[in-house]
A and B are shown apart, each in its own frame.
Chain A
């Protein structure tokens, strides 16, 4: 497959993984390997909060680039601070910018998000904002200099798939930067659908880490993303109202 280009980086895999929700590092490792991912998110938390740096060592060993997120931030100021801490700790300019409004929906706060994106772009970050499935906001984020836009398919962790495919298609058809479908994916057909809608990549975590068999689901997601990408490029047939015979007529 042709590489995914984000900023000055190229990735052979179009599946970006998250590490949240995995029951242990061994399970996570098998899932990451099966997914074929080359870019994977981590969260930033207090050192004494438990968990330790085990996940970093794992990603390093697997040769997977780390994508720190700003999960848990509610304001632009918090997100900018967390991004700067992540840059210092992980020595990367990449950041998955997440500024959510409330715990119940975990939906992005568009006003704080755009503010934070502007500040981080100015500060030299390669910014990948997790955004609503709003074509206007996505265009504004791209205009500020974000390296990609990452609209949600459905709220984080819901596994509801792509609730507004038309909006996603409007975002991909107008996008000046890569579009990554982020959040809401529940199963492989939905990852394929994201790619068929013109997304450049898919980011998911829960659908794999909380599946009964994370390794198998990771493999399925990898194939789904690849299948969707190929189908998008192959040019699907137009939808027709009436049947059209695919065998020659009897005459």
Chain B
């Protein structure tokens, strides 16, 4: 297993898990969200090809009421 961090909470995932798989497992919606991996934005088109490495830090943002 590999430990990754999703919005600062640790998750154990099988080695080689893709970003797309992790997002699907957590029910992240198809639209209106953005993901950063270790501080860099990952375009949605790349989710399926990005494999998560040990200690990867993921930030998932969406739009909320504000401003």
Contact = CB atoms under 8 A, between A and B. Distances in A.
Contact of B65 (A43, A67, A84, A86): A43
Contacts of B41: 81, 84-85, 88
Interface of A is mostly: mixed
A47 B66 contact: no
Contact of B64 (A49, A67, A85): A49
Nearest to A42: B63
A19 B66 contact: yes
A8 B66 CA distance: 25
A56 interface: yes
Given A53-B29, A53-B32, A88-B44, A42 B65 contact: yes
Interface in B26-67: 28-29, 31-36, 39, 41, 43-44, 59-67
Contact of A42 (B35, B59, B64): B64
B10 interface: no
Given A86-B34, A89-B33, A89-B34, A66 B61 contact: no
A238 interface: no
Interface residues of B, number: 22
B60 A47 contact: yes
Given A48-B7, A53-B29, A81-B36, A89 B61 contact: yes
A51 interface: yes
Given A81-B39, A88-B43, A88-B44, A43 B66 contact: yes
A53 B65 contact: no
Contacts of A47: 7, 28, 33, 60-62
B64 A43 contact: yes
A45 B34 contact: no
B66 to A, nearest CB: 3
Nearest to A53: B32
B32 A56 contact: yes
B65 A71 contact: no
Interface of B: 7, 28-29, 31-36, 39, 41, 43-44, 59-67
19 contacts: A19-B67, A21-B65, A42-B63, A43-B66, A44-B62, A46-B7, A46-B59, A47-B61, A51-B64, A53-B33, A53-B63, A56-B32, A69-B67, A71-B67, A85-B59, A87-B34, A88-B41, A89-B32, A89-B33
